[in-house]
């Protein structure tokens, strides 16, 4: 198992982590592991479909309707030359 050290964690965040850990009857270290696991699991599932990720990101901006040019009938193939 790997270990990490989190430096420069501000006091309010540390206090919230301590309270959350106590509420869940875990150590602060175990609570941080669970938070990281949950955050990374949610991110990896959401990013599997690039099209959906892009749609979610720009959906709040609204959409536009594009006017597509009229389609023409398919042209006949040229006749072979001599």
pLDDT tens readout for residues 14-24 = 999 999 999 99
Question: How many domains does the chain divide into?
Answer: 1
Is 30 among the domain residues? yes
Is 67 among the domain residues? no
Percent of the chain with pLDDT over 90: 44
| The pTM of the whole model exceeds 0.95 | no
Is 46 among the domain residues? yes
Is 33 among the domain residues? yes
Task: Produce one character per residue of 20-50: b if its CB has 16 or more CB atoms within 10 Å, e if not.
Answer: ebeeeeeeeeebbeeeeeeeeeeeeeeeeee
- pLDDT at residue number 19: 97
20: Cβ–Cβ under 8 A, 6 or more apart, which residues? Answer: 31
52: Cβ–Cβ under 8 A, 6 or more apart, which residues? Answer: 46
Low-confidence ranges of the chain (pLDDT < 70): 43-48
Is 29 among the domain residues? yes
Q: Which of 31, 26, 38 is nearest to 13 (CA)?
A: 31
Q: Kindly give the residue spans of alpha helices, DSSP state H, lying in the chain.
A: 11-23, 28-46, 50-59
Range of the domain at 50: 11-57
Is 42 among the domain residues? yes
């Amino acid at each position: 198992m790997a270990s990490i050290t989190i430096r420069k964690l501000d006091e309010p965040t540390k206090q919230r982590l301590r309270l959350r850990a106590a509420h869940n009857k875990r150590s602060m270290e175990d609570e941080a592991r669970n938070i990281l696991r949950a955050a990374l699991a949610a991110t990896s599932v959401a990013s599997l479909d690039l099209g959906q990720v892009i749609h979610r990101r720009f959906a709040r901006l609204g959409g536009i309707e594009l006017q597509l040019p009229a389609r023409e009938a398919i042209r006949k193939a040229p006749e072979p030359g001599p």
